[in-house]
Every structure is written in structure tokens, then in C-alpha cells.
Amino acid sequence: MDTILFGSVTVQHAIIVLAVVVGGGILFGIIRSLGRSKDSPHVQAVRCGACDWEGRVSRYAGRCPRCNRPLGRQTARKA
């Protein structure tokens, strides 16, 4: 741990800085995810009648991820 990387910076200093940056990133991600709204007006909960997949899809172009069939009320229309 006393190996000098450059100047007076040792491996121990680099490990401490790396741990603080990683810990800060994890903490930032947790705080950000807690602040998110779970209910979005742009998604809808649906169940596919063809393959019984169940989940949330876009309200604008919602398609089943398993069989690619249109699901739910779609507000996007073909031109």
C-alpha cells in the first residue's frame, strides 16, 4: 500500500478516492430511484390474450414483448 503512483499519491490514496466515488454513485442512484414516480401517464398495465404475458407497456405504441401483438389502448395512430 506504500507504492507511490505519482508525486506523493500512493495506492492507498487511490483506493480511498475510488471507494468514495463508487459509494457516492451508489448513494446518488438510490436517492434518485426513491424520488421517481411509480405511476406514469405514458404506460399502462396489460395482459396479452395471445400468450398470457402480463406487464407494463407504452400507451403510445404498446406491444407484447413476447409475441409483438398490439396491446391495450394505443393513442398513436398510423398516418
Comparison of pLDDT for 12 and 59, the residue scoring more: 12
Comparison of pLDDT for 42 and 79, the residue scoring more: 42
Question: Is residue 78 over pLDDT 70?
Answer: no
> The whole model's pTM is what?
0.45
Domain locations in the chain as residue ranges:
4-35, 39-79
pLDDT at 7: 85
Q: Mean pLDDT across the stretch 45-61?
A: 87
Residue-wise pLDDT tens digits, 18-49: 999 999 999 999 998 887 767 778 888 888 88
3-state SS of the chain is CCCEEECCEEHHHHHHHHHHHHHHHHHHHHHHHHHCCCCCCCEEEEECCCCCCEEEEECCCCECCCCCCECCCCCCCCC
